[in-house]
Amino acid sequence: MAEPTAPRSQHVILMVASTMTVMAGATIAPALPAIARHFADVEGIDILARLTLTLPALFTAIGAPLAGALIDRFGRLRLLVAATLVYGIAGSAGGLADSMGLLLASRAVLGLSVGAIMTTTITLIADYYHGAERNRVMGQQAAFMGLGAVVLVTLGGVLADVSWRAPFGIYGLAFVFLPLIVVFLPEPARAGARAAGADGARTTVSPPPPRRAIAQLYILAFLAAAAFYTIPVELPFHLERSMTVGAVGIGLALAVINLLSALVSLTYGRLRTRLSVSGVFLVLFGFMAAGFAVIATAGSYAMVIVGLVVCGVGTGMLFPNLSVGAGALAPEAMRGRIVGGLTTAVFLGQFSSPLASQPLIARLGSANMYGVVAAAMALIAALFGLAMISRRAT
> Which CATH number characterizes residue 37's domain?
1.20.1250.20
How many Å apart are CA 21 and CA 159, to the nearest integer?
20
Number of domains making up the chain:
1
Evaluate whether residue 2 is within a structural domain. no
How many Å apart are CA 116 and CA 120, to the nearest integer?
6
Range of the domain at 320: 8-187+210-393
Evaluate whether residue 125 is within a structural domain. yes
Using alpha carbons, select from 87, 76, 61 the residue that is nearest to residue 126: 76
Write down the pLDDT at residue 205: 53
Length of the chain (residues): 394
How many Å apart are CA 113 and CA 283, to the nearest integer?
33
Task: Please report, as a single letter, which amino acid is at residue 8.
Answer: R
Write down the pLDDT at residue 292: 97
Write down the pLDDT at residue 203: 46
**Alpha helices for 167-273 (secondary structure H):** 174-184, 189-195, 211-228, 230-243, 247-265, 268-272
Using alpha carbons, select from 34, 236, 24, 191 the residue that is nearest to residue 114: 24
Write down the pLDDT at residue 385: 92
Evaluate whether residue 1 is within a structural domain. no
Using alpha carbons, select from 378, 372, 199, 204 the residue that is nearest to residue 282: 378
Write down the pLDDT at residue 126: 80
Evaluate whether residue 168 is within a structural domain. yes
Evaluate whether residue 316 is within a structural domain. yes
Task: Please list the ranges in the chain whose pLDDT falls under 50.
Answer: 1-4, 191-204
Kindly report, residue by residue over 158-217, the tens digit of the pLDDT.
Answer: 888 889 999 999 999 999 999 999 988 888 865 444 444 444 444 445 566 788 888 999
pTM comes to: 0.75
Evaluate whether residue 196 is within a structural domain. no
User: Residue 223 to residues 291, 292, 314, 330: CA-CA distances in angstroms?
Assistant: 16, 14, 14, 21
